[in-house]
Amino acid sequence: MNLSSSLLSSISSVRTKISTPKMTKTPSENDVGVGGGVGGGGSVIRKNQFRGSLFKYGSKSIQVAFKTGDFRRQVIFIGGLTDGFLATEYLEPLSVALDNEKWSLVQFLLSSSYIGYGTSSLKQDAAELDQLISYLINKEDSEGVVLVGHSTGCQIIVHYMGTNAACSRAVRGVVLQVVLSYLSSHSSRMISEGRGTDLMPREADPGAPITAYRYHSLCAYMGDDDMFSSDLSDDQLRMRLGHMSTTPCQVIFSMADEFVPEYVDKKALVERLCRALGGAEKVEIEWGNHSLSNRVKEVVQAMISFIKTEGPKGWDDPWS
């Protein structure tokens, strides 16, 4: 299957630069879209302009993070394929809302960000996420984090929580927006021939170089990234997601996701996913598209409600 007709070439990302805090006009609520907090000492100055701190969390040049708000509790946003900073439209109002709840928002770059996904892996993503959380613990005196995954960022979270890394104990909750997977026989053949690290033909994904392993992981039935597909059985879903049952989890499902085939029963799928996750909180966003750009207010309210309900006072001290 050619990825140009599937997920990899279809997902677009917002690659807006984080601007220097320089005011050129008086901001209004409409600059943010939801809530207030613009101007003054807020984290969002105006549309596509954040105030915060940029820092390195690892030794690689790509390992850069941006934090709005100066609080000891952090929400870490993990985008999908091709994503980087400001990947979704709801990040601005989410940052403002988190300010009001005394939480920081952290956006960060992985080796797999932008077009790097084709030569990366879930294992590498998880290791870099662990480095970021370690930085927040050791340098920012973090009291705990909530992980928010958009699209294939969800797979990174699920994989990371299954590693039982020391810093994963600081994860106090998880918010997932799920995505499906697809099938490819060409990559399977290359892997069976011991060429998993070789690059696929250019037509497999015109957008970025991609190894046979990564292509297979993203697109094959029961590939490493295949965690939420409707054709997985309940037992297979539990095998892949069951370890999440010990972590408070919210599943946000876009009911009009353009990347979910029409034949998929979305309501049945989200019910099955929540059961496999050990009873996760279900949020169905009616008419919501893949990135929820058309339902920004609803998704922010859902996330904030989850964070407030399942906040640090309601969870065990991760270090006890």
272-299 pLDDT tens trace: 999 999 999 999 999 999 899 999 999 9
pLDDT of 227 above 90? no
pLDDT of 32 above 50? no
Domain 47-180+228-308: state its class: alpha beta
Residues with Cβ within 8 Å of 238's Cβ and at least 6 positions away in sequence, in order, are 276
Q: How many CB atoms lie within 10 A of CB 28?
A: 12
Of 13 and 222, the one with more pLDDT: 222
14-27 pLDDT tens trace: 333 333 344 333 33
77 φ, ψ to 5°?
-95, 130
68-113 pLDDT tens trace: 999 999 999 999 989 999 999 999 999 999 999 999 999 999 999 9
Q: Residue 135: enclosing H or E segment and its boundaries? A: helix 122-140
- Estimate the share of the chain in helix, then strand, then coil, as percent rounded to the nearest 5: 35, 15, 45
CB 277 within 8 A of CB 244: yes
Q: How far apart are CA 155 and CA 302, in angstroms?
A: 21
Q: How many CB atoms lie within 10 A of CB 313?
A: 6
**Residue of 113, 178, 108 whose CA lies nearest to 149:** 178
Tell me where in the chain the CATH 3.40.50.1820 domain(s) lie. Answer: 47-180+228-308
For the chain, the C-alpha Rg in angstroms (whole number) is: 19
Strand ranges across the sheet with 171-176: 53-56, 64-68, 104-108, 73-78, 144-149, 171-176, 249-254, 281-285
Residue 201, classified by CB atoms within 10 Å of its CB into exposed (0-12), middle (13-18) or buried (19+), is: exposed
105-147 pLDDT tens trace: 999 999 999 989 888 899 999 999 999 999 999 999 999 999 9
217 φ, ψ to 5°?
-60, -40
